[in-house]
Amino acid sequence: MRATRWRLGGVGALGLVLGLSFGLVLGPASAQAPSATPPPSLFEPHFETLGDGASIPDGVVSTLGVDPQGMVWIGTSVGLVRFDGHSFTPVALNAPDRRTGGTTFIRALLAARDGRIWLGTESEGLSVYDPVADRWQVHRHTPQQPDSLAPGVIRTIAEDRGGRIWVGFIGGGLQMLDPASGRFRTYGAAQGLPDPRVQHVSADADGNLWVGTWNGVAVLPAGAERLSRPKLPDGQAFGLEGQVVLALAPMPDGSVWVGTQDGALWQVPRTVGSPRRLDDGPSTLGAVQAISRVSERQVWIGRAAGIEIRQPDDGRLQRALRPNIAKPWGLAGADIRSLVRDPGGVLWVGGYGSGLQRVNTLDEAVWVRRPDADPQSVMARPDVRSLLVLRDGSLWAGTSDGGIALLDAQLRTVGAIPSGQQGLGPGRVAALAQAPDGRVWAGAEARVLVFAHARAVAQSYAVGPGRVRRLLADRDGAIWAGTQDGLYRLAPTATAFVRVQHQDGRPLTGDVNALVQATDGTVWVGAETGLYPVPAGSDRLARIAFGPDAGLVNPNVLGLLLDRGGRLWVDTTAGLHRLRDWDGQTAQMEYLGHKLAQATHTVPQAFGANLLEDERGRIWTQRGVYDPREQRLHVLSSADGVDIGTAWFRSYAQTLDGRLLFGGSRGVLVVQPRDFQPSRFEPPVVATGLRVGAQERPLSQLQPRLLVGPSDGGFTLEFAALDLSEPARNRFRYRLLGHDGDWIETTSRTRQASYGGLAPGRYTLQVQGSNRNGDWSSRLLIVDVEVQPAWWQAWWGRLLMVAGVLLGTLGLSHWRTRVLRQRQSQLEARVAEATRALEAKTRELEDSALTDPLTGLRNRRFVVQRLDDDLRLVRRQFEEAQRRGAPPPSDADLSFVMIDIDHFKRVNDEHGHPAGDAVLVQMRERLQEVFRESDYLVRWGGEEFLVVARGTSREGLPELAERARSVVASRPFFLPDGTAVKASCSIGYACFPLNRAQPRAEHWSEVVALADAALYAAKREGRNRWVGVQSAEAAPVLELIASVNASLPDARMQIERGPKA
């Protein structure tokens, strides 16, 4: 059997001529005056604001630093804050000699190469914080010691290549701290410093120290003892005398960029040429306060009123950014003080009033075409429902309610067909197509319009009651219209659309989502009822027979693509398929949805419907890109620049130069596949919190090893992977060598490893994290753990017990043999009792290893060890009933109930972790009110609980779930300080076996995954409710999970929801 391959059909000479004439007709409507320089790109970086008034008071970020591992350190008006991608943690300045009443407004910050954080405050001198040891050291001015810290406010701190620390003061000049001696050396006027007011210090790659002062710039050459004005290649000095230099930035090419308070920006060469002023005069954005080379193609300049983006080589201005309240994706504030890029490529922006912002997209590989500034433009509200690239490269964009926008190849608006004009009525324009004769067809609500040119009044056609969803102009001139109520066709010479039918005369009904034509003339139709071919020369749908296990996993077809090789790709609600073979009657489909789900650690779901292919053969949608050769998927997200609100299915197009366009409710996503590089960053994993027993402990206790005492019970370690581009997508796994047999995986929601009841001894905890793409990093967190024994577990304790028994026995034997014989039985009883006590202690120890140390509930390890026995019992009961021909037992079900506390993070954020712990402990009491002693109550992770109800009837589960929901929501939880807080929970459940007639159809872990999907369905439906899967027909569990996640009706499952109205 040989596969038939197609290519998209071309157009004839007449079609090309008419298509070009259509573009020429469009031209005068959008003519613009010629420009000597091309207009700037519409690309704008996407800024994401992080934190709030509690974490960053008043939105003031005075300075930023990123340590070698990638942790972000933030200087604020009230002190130092650490950000690990998940939470902002204030770091108190707790030096023993801290002055009371002094301000902790941080003016300067340096994240040194050894990981220590250096701070300059207005009144606390020079402070250095060691995050590993959790220890502070403070240097202060001591008048009696000439080699102590100078007086004055610290404005800048820098580290040279030798590890020496340089400190610049307002009024105190420049000092160098020798780390070996701990002494400061002062550089003032006698050492060539042009002014004691130092604003910025920076060391270049050659070891030269550049100093910006209130009287220009000076340099201390490597190895020199005296500062001087910089010498140019021609021997002339360059000093900017009389100017306040606020920012200095050595570049990789050896040049140094210099910014001043009056807004001047200079590029000072290293070897050839003269200094060049990069701006043409006083900048409208004000003083230069920060300079950072963020990529090979961009230097960002932080100014008093915004940001400039410039070329690194010649300094040419690419873009100026100002804060704009109408642009929530843009710069949040004007007064930019710090620009820092982390090891993963994320740019961090801090300023007065702007707070902390994150920028992931620094180039035009993936960006969003945003709203037009002109409120009268159709693209002022770019809710783009359809896209069409004309043969001249220009574009039409159909919107939700504004009409059709006419765009040039650079996506600039050049014209429009507004709603209510030229025959275009109100409502959404959901489909566009260009016919071979050059005319453009548009689907607007339940009608199809045709425009002879951009200024023409449209001719209108009716296509039934349903909205038009997709249009296809085939190579013969026929127009196909997929609607909400089937498929319609307008023959080239016809005057009305005709409904397309099956071979037996039945009309195709339901949504038609995709239409493509192959080179042999076959039109492929993707509908919610399946995939259908219409052979060339026919107007009826042919039937497809699928080979064994080679059909569509779900018949609801959302998107179609014919690639350059002629192969058909099909996207359904269950995921992506590829046509392996087709002989005109029988099709062999290859299902890729499960592979893509495994790659992204999700359940199978639609790939995105809007299928496009790039020149390398990769398959794209607005959700991601799949490389068939590497069989690798990269998911697109906001970290890649995807920010178009709701991405609309069927709104997509490919430009003549290969760019991919996807329409959304907030703009058009633009992808340049040639420039796109998936992140391969390997983030380190760092510890961010530690509890031993019920007490929080400093992270310094992890060094050199974590000691767990006999009365502590256990420990919990919190961690983070420092890919901060989109931390919620990072994954984790951990194992305790010497205890765990395999890795235990978890997500960013439960970033902690918890162990209790460990036997005395030494262990090694390994924690591995991933980047946002799910790729495991080789940079593990490794913690040595020592569990100390109780006295009776130590060798000497056991020896003492044995020796005591022996000595007692020996003494008694010498005291009186007769008494010994009389009481021999009593001694044997005592030994047996001691043995039983030791055995009980051992059993208690083993039991504690299966118990959560905080709540006293069972842990995940208990479920893994015990549940297989319960499964065997359940299966045996059902199979025995089948063997006897009896009905399945109604009270032998094993029910899995997942419970998650709603908005639990809010409790931790507002009241602290002890408050969250109190809520978790009280959850145990409430669960015990609802469930029986024989049921397993398990803390599954974080604020998530699993209840395994054993020997139950699934018919009673709705009532049980409602009781659990009610007992949580009906009364408040009390925090340690007496505060009462209200909380609710969401519940999802599923029963084992899903099909009582097939007790071996699925593993318990699959049923738990289905219950978890039901839990998140309850959250999506509003929280404080429950969703349960009572039973299911025989079907792959991944498909059932996909239906629950997509909230799709599935006749194969009986689903209950509550509370009932």
pLDDT in tens, 85-121: 999 999 987 655 544 444 588 999 999 999 999 999 8
pLDDT of residue 22: 46
pLDDT of residue 931: 93
The average pLDDT across 296-305 equals: 95
| DSSP secondary structure string for all residues of 867-893 | HHHHHHHHHHHHHHHHHHTPPPPSS-E
DSSP-derived secondary structure letter, 490: E
Tokens found for residue 693: 């027993």
> Burial of 381 by CB count in 10 Å (0-12 exposed, 13-18 middle, 19+ buried)?
middle
Tokens found for residue 349: 């922006």
3-state secondary structure of 344: coil
> Burial of 342 by CB count in 10 Å (0-12 exposed, 13-18 middle, 19+ buried)?
buried
3-state secondary structure of 568: strand
Whole-number Å distance between alpha carbons of 936 and 123:
57
The average pLDDT across 141-155 equals: 89
- The residue with greater pLDDT, 24 or 925, is 925
Residue with structure tokens 């139950």? 952
Residue 397, H or E segment: strand 395-399
Least trusted range by pLDDT, from 373-382, 707-716, 822-831: 822-831
Least trusted range by pLDDT, from 500-509, 607-616, 859-868: 859-868
Q: Is the predicted pLDDT of residue 504 greater than 50, yes or no?
A: yes
pLDDT of residue 792: 60
Please report, for residues 287, 595, 678, 849, the alpha-carbon distance to residue 934 in angstroms, rounded to integers and kept in the order given.
71, 39, 50, 19
Tokens found for residue 505: 């005369």
Whole-number Å distance between alpha carbons of 573 and 593:
9
- Nearest to 310, CA basis, from 266, 366, 271, 353: 266
Percent of the chain with pLDDT over 70: 89
Percent of the chain with pLDDT over 90: 62
Q: What does residue 911 show for φ and ψ, rounded to 5 degrees?
A: -120, -10
pLDDT of residue 1: 34
pLDDT of residue 100: 42
Class of domain 685-787: mainly beta
Least trusted range by pLDDT, from 521-525, 620-624, 881-885, 1049-1053: 1049-1053
pLDDT grade for 180, boundaries at 50, 70 and 90: confident
The ranges assigned to domains in the chain are 58-285, 369-675, 685-787, 798-848, 860-1058
Q: Are the C-beta atoms of residues 942 and 750 closer than 8 Å to each other?
A: yes
Report the sign of the C-alpha dihedral through residues 326, 330, 331, 332, in that order. Answer: positive
Q: Provide the whole-model pTM.
A: 0.76
Class of domain 369-675: mainly beta
Least trusted range by pLDDT, from 55-64, 467-476, 877-886: 877-886
pLDDT grade for 673, boundaries at 50, 70 and 90: very high
pLDDT of residue 154: 94
β-strands 117-121, 106-111 pairing: antiparallel
Least trusted range by pLDDT, from 362-371, 774-783, 842-851, 941-950: 842-851
Q: Is the predicted pLDDT of residue 5 greater than 70, yes or no?
A: no
3-state secondary structure of 795: helix
644-648 contacts, C-beta under 8 A, 24 or more apart:
644/368, 644/668, 644/669, 647/608, 647/610, 647/622, 647/623, 648/384, 648/385
The average pLDDT across 336-362 equals: 94
Q: Is the predicted pLDDT of residue 124 greater than 90, yes or no?
A: no
The average pLDDT across 1008-1019 equals: 91
Q: Is the predicted pLDDT of residue 586 greater than 60, yes or no?
A: yes
- The residue with greater pLDDT, 25 or 739, is 739
pLDDT of residue 828: 60
Q: List CB contacts of 665: < 8 A, sequence separation 6 or more.
A: 383, 400, 644, 645, 646, 648
Whole-number Å distance between alpha carbons of 1061 and 1058:
8
Amino acid at 105: F
Whole-number Å distance between alpha carbons of 640 and 46:
10
Q: What is the mean pLDDT of the chain?
A: 87
Q: Do domains 58-285 and 369-675 have the same CATH topology?
A: yes
- Nearest to 307, CA basis, from 328, 332, 327, 326: 332
Q: Is the predicted pLDDT of residue 220 greater than 70, yes or no?
A: yes
Tokens found for residue 863: 């479920």
Tokens found for residue 80: 């130092």
Residue 691, H or E segment: strand 685-692
Helix, strand, coil percent content, the chain, rounded in steps of 5: 20, 40, 45
Class of domain 58-285: mainly beta
Class of domain 860-1058: alpha beta
Q: List CB contacts of 1051: < 8 A, sequence separation 6 or more.
A: none
